[in-house]
């Protein structure tokens, strides 16, 4: 029996993935102004591009931080500006086009940054959260001892901070700590770095271990942090709407032992109480290569939601259902032959009419055209270290220190940039500029119009 529990853990609408490509991008209620990558993946593989070499418009040395034995940097591209941690952990702002320095603030900051509605949020080495206006003026500082915080998440009038099993909630206007909750029971293993906030309820997912290990949804009162309910064996919500939570159920080792007649179950939970209000079941048939073999998760029984389109991966097929119009035993609206599930894993994203996959063998990208079912394979052959997709630009950083830019629609190389280092962080984008981070230096590159429009 093949098991891929982690790939079912969370749904992804706008996906960000690492080389392990876990389906773990729970979408919270965060409002952001940055341009987010459709995919952002470490260690994919592409062939050598034959394209004109371009030089950066400007470059900037960044502060380097150790994270699990790897050097990382911290920067954000927002509203035509570049915000970054530079020498000594100072927060600095630059004009995104010219590189002109606008201001600097503080020192000794950790590589945890967030931006929302004209404010920047950061973290000091002793775990205080800071808020700085985009003009560089201080707004507030709050000491909450979150020195190991993973992420800062602005939502509405609240700033949430995740630190493994602890969740902090701060007032956006003043920084005052509203509440803090830590899940202390031994069965809790880890907490998601994303949250959903709806109708006064905060939802966060955890990995819970015991006789059976699975994902669990916890609900907290937005005003007080009081735990309202928990629901075990429920993956992170596909959707929260009209007071209902829609979540794929974990059926592994829970009676789902038919190797031919497969199904995906979606629970409908009351947002305020967690009470189960209903259940949706989507059925399909497979032909296992080995009689009796059951495969779970990833390409073999997981889903993501894009608007009203529910995509369910069904082994050698992928099917689309109308989520807004469910009927028991309903048929798929559309169905395609899927890439070999032993060779490709889904990236839980559709972009430009293409479902995105990544190769297990070399981590190259495959795009499945939903208009024709055609598979588009991007070049492969060598080992770069980072791939990012923005608008119509696919940016591939290679181990020799070169970043190649491809036209996503045509797969043709457009330009390349030599950085001098094979260590890359995810590429950033704002407007018609991308910011390539390599070896502790940020390089600003102007994009041609063909890559800036989806």
In a domain, 227, yes or no: yes
The two most distant CA atoms of the chain are separated, in Å, by 66
In a domain, 349, yes or no: yes
In a domain, 379, yes or no: yes
Q: Using 50, 70 and 90 to split pLDDT, how confident is the model at 282?
A: very high
In a domain, 146, yes or no: yes
pLDDT at residue 383 in the model: 63
Structural domains of the chain, count: 1
CB 107 within 8 A of CB 90: yes
What range does the domain containing 441 cover? Answer: 6-451
Query: How many Cα atoms within 13 Å fall on the side-chain side of residue 310?
Result: 26
Mean pLDDT score, 20-31: 28
Mean pLDDT score, 438-442: 97
Question: CA-to-CA distance for 276 and 436, rounded, in angstroms?
Answer: 47
Beta-strand runs (E) in 96-183 = 101-105, 109-116, 119-124, 128-133, 138-143, 151-155, 158-163, 166-171, 177-182
Tell me: pLDDT of 34 over 70.
no
Chain segment 295-312, per-residue pLDDT in tens: 878 999 999 999 999 999
Q: Using 50, 70 and 90 to split pLDDT, how confident is the model at 258?
A: confident
Q: Describe the strand order of the beta sheet including 177-182 as a list of residue ranges.
A: 151-155, 158-163, 166-171, 177-182
Q: Which residues pair with 18 in a beta bridge?
A: none
pLDDT at residue 454 in the model: 76
In a domain, 332, yes or no: yes
Tell me: pLDDT of 51 over 70.
yes
In a domain, 1, yes or no: no
Residue 198 DSSP one-character state = E
Mean pLDDT score, 205-224: 96
What lies within 8 Å, CB to CB, of 16 at 6+ separation is 25, 36, 37, 39, 40
CATH number for the domain spanning 157: value is 2.130.10.10
What lies within 8 Å, CB to CB, of 68 at 6+ separation is none
């Amino acid at each position: 029996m093949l098991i891929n529990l982690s790939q079912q853990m969370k749904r992804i609408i706008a996906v960000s993935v690492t080389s392990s490509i876990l389906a773990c991008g729970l979408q919270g209620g965060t409002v952001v102004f940055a341009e987010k990558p459709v995919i952002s993946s470490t260690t994919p593989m592409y062939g050598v591009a034959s394209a004109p070499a371009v030089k950066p418009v400007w470059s900037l040395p960044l502060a380097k931080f150790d994270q699990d034995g790897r050097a990382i940097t911290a920067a954000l591209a927002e509203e035509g500006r570049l915000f970054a941690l530079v020498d000594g952990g100072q927060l600095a702002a630059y004009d995104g086009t010219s590189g002109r320095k606008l201001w600097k603030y503080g020192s000794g900051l950790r590589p945890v940054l967030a931006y929302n509605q004209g404010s920047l949020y950061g973290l000091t080495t002793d775990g205080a959260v800071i808020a700085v206006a985009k003009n560089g003026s201080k707004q507030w500082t709050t000491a909450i001892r979150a020195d190991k915080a993973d992420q800062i998440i602005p939502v509405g009038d609240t700033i949430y901070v995740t630190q493994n099993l602890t969740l902090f909630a701060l007032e956006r206007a003043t920084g005052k700590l509203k509440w803090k909750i830590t899940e202390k029971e031994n069965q809790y293993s880890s907490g998601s770095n994303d949250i959903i906030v709806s109708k006064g309820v905060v939802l966060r997912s955890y990995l819970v271990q015991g006789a059976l290990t699975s994902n669990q949804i916890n609900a907290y009162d937005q005003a007080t942090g009081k735990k309202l309910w928990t629901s075990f064996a429920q993956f992170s919500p596909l959707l929260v709407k009209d007071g209902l939570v829609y979540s794929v159920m974990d059926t592994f080792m829970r009676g789902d032992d038919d190797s031919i007649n497969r199904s995906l179950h979606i629970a409908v939970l009351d947002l305020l109480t967690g009470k189960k209000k209903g259940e949706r079941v989507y059925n399909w048939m497979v032909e296992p290569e080995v009689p009796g073999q059951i495969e779970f998760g990833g390409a073999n029984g997981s889903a993501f939601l894009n608007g009203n389109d529910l995509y369910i991966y069904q082994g050698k097929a992928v099917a689309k259902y109308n989520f807004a119009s469910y009927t028991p035993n309903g048929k798929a609206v559309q169905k395609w032959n899927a890439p070999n599930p032993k060779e490709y894993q889904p990236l839980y994203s559709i972009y430009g009419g293409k479902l995105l996959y990544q190769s297990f063998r070399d981590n190259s990208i495959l795009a499945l055209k939903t208009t024709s079912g055609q598979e588009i394979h991007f070049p492969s052959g060598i080992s770069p270290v980072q791939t990012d997709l923005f608008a119509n630009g696919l940016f591939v950083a290679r181990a020799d220190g070169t970043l190649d830019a491809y036209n996503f629609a045509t797969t043709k190389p457009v330009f390349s940039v030599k950085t001098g280092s094979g260590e890359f962080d995810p590429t950033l984008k704002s407007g018609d500029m991308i910011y390539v981070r390599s070896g502790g230096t940020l390089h600003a590159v102007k994009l041609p119009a063909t890559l800036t429009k989806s």
